[in-house]
Chain A
Amino acid sequence: MSIQLTDIVKSFKTDRVLDSLSLGVSRGETLVLFGPSGAGKTVLLRLIAGVIDPDEGRIVINGVDMEGVEPEERGIGMAFQNFALFPHMDAHANIASPLTARRRTRADIEDRVNEVAELLKIRHVLGHKPKELSNGQKQRTALGRALAAEPSILLLDDPLRNVDAKLRFEMRLELPRLLKAQEATVIYVTQDYKEAMALGDRIAVMGAHGIAQVGTPEDIYLTPADTTIARLFGDPAINLLDVVPEQGGGGPEIQLSGARMPLDTAYAGVVGRPCILGIRPETIRFTEAGAPGVIPVEIEAETPLNEKTVTLAATRAGREILISRPAGTPGPDRGTAHIAIDPSGALLFDQATGKRIHPGESA
């Protein structure tokens, strides 16, 4: 483990932001901290960087307990959400600051700053003060400063938050390559699920009470721990329907607008228990009437997005369902239609707690 956090507690006045949080990050791994604002993502980064101290718990970096270790002794690179560039120094001096701290030779510093600037395409603005830089250039300068000394640990606090959409898209493609080239252990904070999915080897989803789920992007998307996480990942959002599974002929099944949807037999334990059925919009397709398991719906609205078309439809019982299909594929845009749901991707959550019900779990 490159970073190991154990039972971290941190409060501000009476507000307990982190409560007994534990998390490990392996060497060379990129871990994305994902969650709404106020979940304590930034606090966690600051604790690791050492600019604030935990009330309780241990932080171990590369095998060394960080208690009493000052931020400048931790060998960490960090990029702040608000860039936090030194306003009275030019971009060159900003990027060079971790190198001057390490007492590198002048030629060495010059080489490294140019190398980083080349990588981030800001060589032409190295002589500019932060106020003369565009937001994108500031962001790259801040990133360059974090990378300059080739730290073994990189903390990136939502570095794409304050840049425009076009640049954010470019950087989302560019960053994974950049981070891999660094061979550093990276903790990346974001509120954007696409960024999280694109960059993370693993994603730690933070909720109001610490870390709600840790897993690979696929894990989080396909088997979210609860309905909240299920809703956070995916656009359009997952369909969540209140259901009570029944015992059918071949095993447990769900009645949806008169159609029967069989469940995996491993879900036998949930029969009669109030559940929430989670169905990703892309696992629903339009089909012809008459086939078994087909549900008639009334189309309410159609939203063409770039690469997909999202349709909002209502079942006879008035439940609204989002259906996503690749752009350009045929589909009805008004009136009555019929949909089929792929039951293999369906998720079941407990109605009372919102937690996902694992196959094989008994009532």
Chain B
Amino acid sequence: MEHTSTLERVLRAIAITLVILFFIFPIFWIVLMSFQTNETILRVPPSIVFEPTLQNYQALITGELDTAAGKLEFDFMSNLFNSFYLSTASVALGLILGIPAAYAFGRLKFRGSEDIAFTLLSFRFAPPLLVLLPLTIYFQKLGLADTYFGLIWVYQLIVLPLILWIVRGYFEDIPADIEYAYRIAGHGFWATFFKIALPLAMPGIAAAGLLAFIFAWNNFIFALVLASADKQPVTVGALAFVTASGIQYGQIAAGIVLSILPTLGLALYAQRYLVEGLSLGAVKG
């Protein structure tokens, strides 16, 4: 441990505080906003002193909001459910398809494997709108437009390359000798995959799954174009708060808070797992 003076420690603490403030403040401000009415949010100058209200959350849960222009109806809770359903199903499908593929690309080098892997990665290069325009036509012809299945399929464009490339790296990092040793001990290819490769790559799979979930959760454009109101996730659903009579900042803030919670919970849960996996230890030494 190098010597650090008191001054250095203080400066370091200040720097860390500044960084944390920079990243946390917007979220903190949104949380505050979610407990305010539109009037207190929009007052000038802004203040953190206000009378907290739960009416934003209440409105979101009941799906009704009384505004100056009349009663506004929306279905935020079903948006939340859609987000949850689409993200979970997409990540599940992505893992089922991506993990064996990652193993194949990482372990069993075959002709053209690099090209195929790169092609899959290149899905992430194309601007989504470029893909969406032709896709919309195909989906309408195939009857996939406005279906969960169709959306989950399109979500693979985001989820699959991510899972594939992250998990592949973890498979490649497992010393081949460990797998050989299990084979020589008398276990077959599949037993080796499930009992050795999969558990040892689990931290990578957890990380990839978490990231993929966040990416899927935050996706906006696919659902906007390909789904109608009853299939739309929160990202698109939040548009309902931009009304003819003004923008409902309070509800948007409350909606953001509610939609952060699942990913936050998942991240906190997975974090334990990630750390445990990373400390599993090396082959030797």
Contact = CB atoms under 8 A, between A and B. Distances in A.
A49 B180 contact: yes
A301 interface: no
A204 B94 CA distance: 51
Contact of A87 (B180, B183, B191, B283): B283
Interface in A328-363: none
Give the one of B182, B191, B280, B282 with max A CB within 10 A: B182
B181 A78 contact: yes
Contacts of A83: 283-284
A97 B187 contact: yes
Given A49-B184, A72-B186, A98-B186, A80 B281 contact: no
B52 interface: no
Contacts of A51: 180, 183-184
Contacts of A202: none
A42 to B, nearest CB: 10
A185 to B, nearest CB: 15
B186 A162 contact: no
A129 B281 contact: yes
Q: Chain A interface residue count: which class?
A: 20 to 34
A78 B281 contact: no
A172 interface: no
A106 interface: no
Contacts, number: 83
B2 interface: no
A101 B283 contact: no
Give the one of A76, A78, A138 with max B CB within 10 A: A78
A123 interface: no
A131 interface: yes
A11 B68 CA distance: 80
A74 B191 CA distance: 16
Contacts of B175: 82, 84
Contacts of B180: 46, 49, 51, 71, 78, 80, 84
24 contacts: A50-B183, A71-B184, A72-B185, A72-B186, A72-B187, A75-B186, A76-B184, A78-B181, A84-B175, A84-B177, A84-B180, A85-B178, A85-B283, A86-B196, A87-B283, A97-B182, A98-B185, A101-B185, A102-B186, A130-B283, A131-B280, A145-B181, A145-B185, A162-B284
Interface of B: 175, 177-178, 180-189, 191, 196, 199-200, 280-285
